[in-house]
A = this chain, B = another copy of it.
């Protein structure tokens, strides 16, 4: 029996567009002899639909679209479509009003509906906000094959694998008890670095227990801060990967389930990335491209400081939208070094993008003159430094507004953590492209980009980082070296280390104290930051919910 996996890139909330995609994939699947088409979790509305789910019209419209979709699907093909389902007994039982469901369409009508049981409510996930848990796991039978259905998180409660139980029930064990021949897992699992290796290890671990071949279908595409990497995968009864779809791109793949062998047969296995840098770069390009495309932007504008962050983001922008759709703006001040301008222009040349130079000195003087009555007896300080950054932010937004370009911000995660960035200045933009990329990883990505030819000018990588907001300024005058900063941040963000523990681990007390203070004080800036593409398990985005006016 041939089974098609549609690794789709939906537009959140665009029911008609998403239905059309499913319909096209169904035609293609039939033409290749498939009997069953699998699509990702909530494929009809895209994941995550967030508070669109609170709108009853949105739900009604989903039902309507599903009904229309049924009529256009080939009658010979069974299709699984993800959609929010009304929980009829919600108000009677005191449950949430919806289920996160998969509809099985066969012969142009909905034959069966399966409900997600484990609802992630942590990090970026808010599923308890919208959904009730499905009561039981179930299967359907196609050509005498019993196919057990699970939805995303349903597969992620492997107690032995994680070393702890995350939910009370285990839907996969329940499906095994039902004696299914095959398990499908319809997912929308966001990307983080090397997550696919964890997914495959977990899948393999699950199969080693239950001995049921499993097909895992993932969404791809960027949706605001979240990047879905795809890499849908199938494992046979031995727990071996026998098929893997490519990462970061839409795809349709046909699998063969042998009723004789009661197993999935070997198929195309697309490779994983060679390096974390390659993988992250692919994720960021997809995230930026989709944010621009899904918001309706064709062109990107960004400031080029001659520093490494903007160099990396410019390169990602070119990969995402093409060199003709990226405008770099140089805005040197009297504090900009000559090499900064030169490096930025060299980068622009390497990338073959349009660059404009708009020196900001006269505007700096303009603000100085205007503010002189108030600032006369004060020293040059953070206020004046920020003015420069905000002049640049204003110029970039003026260009973005005038020509309808997307301004992207270029701050990295290390800066965002300690607030080494100017709110309403260099933080300006619709998307923080590398907001979840620590500085040391920025270096590593740039070195990877230069592996064959020099894209990022060598001097940009080699020179000490500087915001160039006052004469001779270096990041390291205000911050610990990035090796140390990133190391501490990693321990704080991932392992919840306390200052005392960090000092015990060998870090200087004054450095530790400084980082904790900066981290807390930057909360108000992060609150107002644009969405930042998430590539780690702890990003400063929708999954970071810290109080601002607090004293911890």
Could you list which residues of chain A lie within 8 angstroms of chain B, going by C-beta atoms?
11-15, 17, 46, 48-52, 54-58, 91-95, 121-122, 126, 128-129, 157, 159, 164-169, 222-224, 290-291, 294-295, 356, 358-360, 362-363, 366-367, 369-371, 373-375, 378, 381-384, 386-387, 390-391, 393-395, 397-399, 401-402, 423-424, 428, 430, 496, 498, 524, 527-531, 542, 544-552
Contacts and interface: CB of A to CB of B under 8 A. Distances in A.
A409 B11 CA distance: 33
Contact of A126 (B55, B126, B424): B126
A52 B544 CA distance: 10
Given A168-B95, A394-B390, A394-B391, A551 B17 contact: yes
Contact of A545 (B51, B55, B397, B528): B51
A390 B428 CA distance: 12
Closest 8 CB pairs of A and B: A13-B552, A14-B551, A94-B165, A294-B549, A383-B401, A12-B550, A128-B128, A383-B402
Chain B CB count within 10 A is highest, among A48, A51, A428, A545, for A545
Contacts of A17: 551
Chain B CB count within 10 A is highest, among A11, A91, A402, for A402
Copies in the complex: 2
Contact of A121 (B128, B395, B402, B545): B128
B402 A381 contact: yes
B294 A157 contact: no
A190 to B, nearest CB: 14
A278 to B, nearest CB: 25
Given A366-B366, A402-B383, A496-B57, A11 B550 contact: yes
A114 B550 CA distance: 26
A14 B128 CA distance: 29
Given A51-B546, A291-B549, 14 more contacts: A12-B550, A12-B552, A13-B550, A14-B550, A14-B551, A15-B552, A93-B165, A128-B128, A290-B549, A294-B551, A295-B548, A383-B399, A384-B398, A390-B390
A50 B548 CA distance: 10
A273 to B, nearest CB: 25
Nearest to A359: B370
